[in-house]
Amino acid sequence: MEPILEIKNLRKNFDSFSLKDINLSLERGYIMGF
Q: How sure is the predictor about 32, in pLDDT bands with cuts at 50, 70 and 90?
A: confident
Task: Tell me which residue range forms the domain holding 20.
Answer: 1-27
Q: How much is the pTM?
A: 0.62
Q: ∠ CA 15-7-23 to the nearest 5 degrees?
A: 70
The answer to whether position 3 is within a domain reads yes
> CA 30 → CA 5, 7, 21, 25, 26, distances in Å?
11, 16, 23, 10, 7
The whole-number pLDDT of residue 28 equals 92
pLDDT score of 1: 79
| 33 in any annotated domain | no
Instruction: Please check whether residue 9 lies inside any domain of the structure.
Output: yes
Examine residue 10 and state whether it is found in any structural domain, yes or no: yes
pLDDT 10s digits, 3-27: 999 999 999 999 999 999 999 999 9
User: Total domain count for the chain?
Assistant: 1
